[in-house]
Structure 1
Amino acid sequence: MRVIAGDFKGRPLKSVPTHKTRPTTDKVKEAVFHGIGPFFDGGRALDLFAGSGGLGIEALSRGVGSCVFVDQQHQAVKTVYENIELLKLEDRTEVFRTDAYRAMKAAGKRGLQFDYIFLDPPYKKFSYKELMEALLDHGLAAEGAKIICEHDASEKIPEQVGPFKRMKTDHYGSNIGVSIFE
């Protein structure tokens, strides 16, 4: 695993040493960022189900100002911290070990809003509709926010959730899909 583009292009990232996470492939990561960027001038990102933190770190490398990483797995959170330290991103990041719904509630209480929200939960274990409704309920999406969902290619992704409309869905191989909402 590595950073694809930006300030940290080519830098290796540690992966989570368990089978409980599934890192986003370089091909999918590149496609995701071409779909929403590919480069940014600030903004705030939320990487729910962060795993190794690859998506949030890629966003930071490409110019996003700050990122909040959330994962409930101990090994994943430890790996995110290691990757942040490796790239010296401590001053632009926050990391939380908790489940996604608790994290969204806590972020809402703090009044945080995000321009880029990465949802990459374990395939077929979470409802994207419910996750996006929780984002709305807690006021976490900034004006014009983009929500990026990585999912199993066979999964039915809603066309719209509240004000969020699915702008595109692409498939990579037989089992990876990415849907982008605005």
Structure 2
Amino acid sequence: MRIIAGEWRGRKLVAPKGDATRPTADRTRETLFSMLTSRLGDFDGLRVADLFAGSGALGLEALSRGAAHCLFVEQDRAALDAIRSNIAAFDAREKTTIEAGSVLHLRAASEPYDVLLIDPPYRTGAGAVALDRLLRLGWIGPATWIAVETAATETVTVQGLETEVERRIGKGKLTLLRLEPDRTDPDTPPG
């Protein structure tokens, strides 16, 4: 695994030991960031959260492309070790925060994130459960882009969010989501 573009392009990433995590393939990451860049323009100054972070490859790719800060959330010990190792190797401590624990136990956000990168275990439904919770806890605002990687046969459905685009890549699928248009008006009560 390598960083695809930006400041750290071509630098190798450490993957977690064991088989508890499934790192996002370089090809899938390249497609995901192409999809996001075509909508965002660039990552300059953005606040990003890499949830179910694994090696941290998604968040580190965003930082390499100019994101201001990335929160990594992961509960697996080997994955946390890999994230810490990658952050140290890229000298990115000042731009990162690591939350050791379950995405499903996160607290309310002080303000919405610009980008949520979510790569839960396939076929668990954990991504939709996490998104429902994060939506209620203020992690998602009108400008937030959400990217979820799932198995190709899975669909991500969360009340209050709409699918912008889905793209199959091998055995996986990338889904970009946004707040539903009526949820972006602060005077409109939720669902």
Deviation beyond 6 Å, 4+ runs, structure 1:
none
* Other-structure match for 2:142: 143
TM-score, scaled to structure 1: 0.91
Letter in 2 for 1:161: Q
Instruction: Provide the secondary structure at the position in 2 that maps to 1:70.
Output: strand
Contact 1:16 1:79 in 2 (8 A): yes
Q: Note if contact 2:119-2:127 (Cα within 8 Å) is conserved in structure 1.
A: no
Q: What is the number of residues matched between the two proteins?
A: 175
Residue 112 of structure 2 corresponds to 113
Note if 1:169 corresponds to 2:166.
yes
Q: Give the partner amino acid of 2:18.
A: T
2:130 aligns with 131
Looking at structure 1, the residues matched to 119 and 162 of structure 2 have their Cα atoms a distance apart, in angstroms, of 18
The question of whether the paired residues in 1 share the 8 Å contact of 2:112 and 2:144 is answered with: no
CA-to-partner distance for each residue in 1:120-142, whole Å, 9 max, x for gaps? Answer: 01101134332221111110123
RMSD between superposed Cα atoms in Å: 1.3
Query: Quick check: 1:169–1:178 contact (8 Å CA) kept in 2?
Result: yes
TM-superposed CA distance for 1:97, in Å, is 1.1
Distance 1:128 1:17 in 2: 23
| Equivalent position of 2:92 in the other structure | 89
- After superposition, the Cα gap between the structure-2 partners of 1:161 and 1:36, relative to the gap in structure 1 and judged at 3 Å, is farther
Q: In the alignment, what sits opposite 1:64?
A: 67
Shift of 1:81: 0.5
Structure 1 segments unaligned to the other structure (5+ residues): none
Partner of 2:33: 33
Cα distance in structure 2, aligned partners of 1:50 and 1:125:
16
CA contact (8 A) 1:77 1:96 kept: no
**For the Cα contact (< 8 Å) 1:171–1:177, is it kept in 2?**
yes
What TM-score, normalized by structure 2, do the two folds share? 0.87
Aligned amino acid, residue 67 of structure 1: C
Deviation at 1:40, TM superposition (A): 1.5
| Structure 2 unmatched ranges of 5 or more | 179-191
User: Do the aligned residues in 2 keep the contact of 1:113 with 1:140 (CA within 8 Å)?
Assistant: yes
In the alignment, is the contact (CA less than 8 A) between 1:70 and 1:100 conserved in 2? yes
Does the CA-based 8 Å contact 1:71-1:96 persist in structure 2?
yes
The aligned counterpart of 1:99 is: 102
Is 1:2 the counterpart of 2:20? The answer is no
Q: Tell me the CA shift for residue 112 of structure 1.
A: 4.2
Verify the 8 A CA contact 1:22 1:51 in the aligned structure 2. Answer: yes
